[in-house]
Amino acid sequence: MATRDELRRLASESLVSHFSDLCEGAVIVDAQSRVVWMNDHYPGRLGIVDPSLAIGQPIERVIANSQMRQVVESGKPIMLDIMDVGEESFVVSRLPLRDAAGMVVGAVGFILYDDPRHLAPVVSRYQQLRADLADAERKLAEARRTKYTFSSFIGAGEASTELKQAARRAARTASSVLILGETGTGKELLAQAIHAASPRADRPFVAVNIAAVPETLLEAEFFGVAPGAYTGADRRGREGKFKLADHGTLFLDEIGDMSLALQAKLLRTLQEREFEAVGSNRLVAVDVRIIAATSRNLEQMVADGTFRADLYYRLNVITLNTPPLRERPEDMALLAEYLIELICRQLDIPAHDISSPALNRLLRHDWPGNVRELANVLERALLMTDIDLLEVADLERVMPKVRDSVPAAGSNVIGMAEAVAQAERKAILAALDESRGNKAQAARSLGISRAALYEKIAALGLTADAA
């Protein structure tokens, strides 16, 4: 039975023999790049009249454009190349030859084709793969760009204007931003607008909805997975959101839903600007700007011990409060017109308008789902109307009934408006009492802007002493 070394020798000899028979030409040079052998085809392909005169000559004297010396000196193959000889061009391959100790003792070259056009299918496939890769990279880059700017945040009232001014100031910095507000108030839209107006605008914007990712997968989602980290893991590994957002912005939506264990790992990453992928012991440096958002009361969660105080202070460098829709009645007409136009375009239906009575009907609803709920109501109404003008009747079919604010005689039941006013009055007085009259602090604890707090104090008829 032949040994492994003998098999390797036989394979090498057989390979050279088969190539020399099948190819258009073959040549071997020694360690000094002198020709030591040519097959029968080579001299004819190169126009050499007497092949014996080429033996012992430097390869460049025989083939002026040869790269065989480069292969001998570097020990690296040139797997595919086009060599010009006179007016002809050949597709060639060059490989180093090594002895038993691994030392380069020469090189062998083959003429694979006598016409480069034989490579057309290969070149075409390669070019197509490169084009597909470039297209995929372009689409991925577009997906990582923001879709919204500050002009996308519809509103001209005082609360909206104040919020956008504060957000524009935040965009000029690299500090962390914490966006507070009820669901549907446009927190992610605002985060994207901040990124789009920041110096990082041309870098990725990556969003993670923490509430939508199972707790067991969040660490891998954030930091990625090393190749073969666990059974079933991708052998190539997977990059996490921190790596994808490097030099850009990472938006952490619903940050209040994060577990304490993961809060600790996130805090370390924010402090040290480095992380370890799951299953890896290699630290990866990262430069990411954090914008976090939540509809929860993080201050209360810190007090209850369900959110780390040190992480809260790390995130809460700049705080923005997105006002609920019920506090933006002056923006209702603008929002309704914008959403109707957008929905009609998306549904490919004729343009619609909304009547003044219908707008008033929208103002009589408290909108617990905010702008998201408004968009849903308008879309449903547009799909159910047969004319190009939304009327009150169209809205009534898809909206909750308005409760009568005037109680029946002798009844102890109060109207919805009065109930809301009483609840707001009680909450404001409690916040002011807790903050010892500090209105800025009271506004933060209530999750509203200071301007909105002043408006409510005036609207509810609270005296300066009570406030």
> Which structural domains are found in the chain, ordered by start?
4-119 (3.30.450.20), 150-322 (3.40.50.300), 325-396 (1.10.8.60), 416-459 (1.10.10)
Other beta carbons less than 10 A from residue 117's beta carbon: 10
Q: Which residue has the tokens 């506004």?
A: 443
- Residue 412: per-residue pLDDT: 52
User: pTM of this prediction?
Assistant: 0.60
Residue bearing the bigger pLDDT, 176 or 51: 176
> What's the one-letter identity of residue 36?
V
d(CA 254, CA 290): 13
Q: Dump pLDDT digits (tens) for 82-135.
A: 888 777 778 888 999 988 888 999 999 888 776 666 566 655 665 676 677 666
Report CA-CA distances (Å) from 242 to 100, 207, 300. 49, 10, 28
Sheet holding 205-209, edge to edge: 205-209, 249-253, 289-294, 177-181, 318-322
The widest CA-to-CA distance across the chain, in whole angstroms, is: 125
- Residue 411: per-residue pLDDT: 46
SS3 at position 100? coil
Q: Dump pLDDT digits (tens) for 163-217.
A: 999 999 999 999 999 999 999 999 999 999 999 999 999 999 999 999 888 888 8
What residue spans of 51-99 are helical by DSSP H?
59-62, 68-74
Q: Which residues, 6+ apart, have CB-to-CB distance to 68 below 8 Å?
A: 27, 29, 33, 59, 94, 107, 109
> Is the pLDDT assigned to residue 17 strictly greater than 60?
yes
DSSP state letter for 201:
T
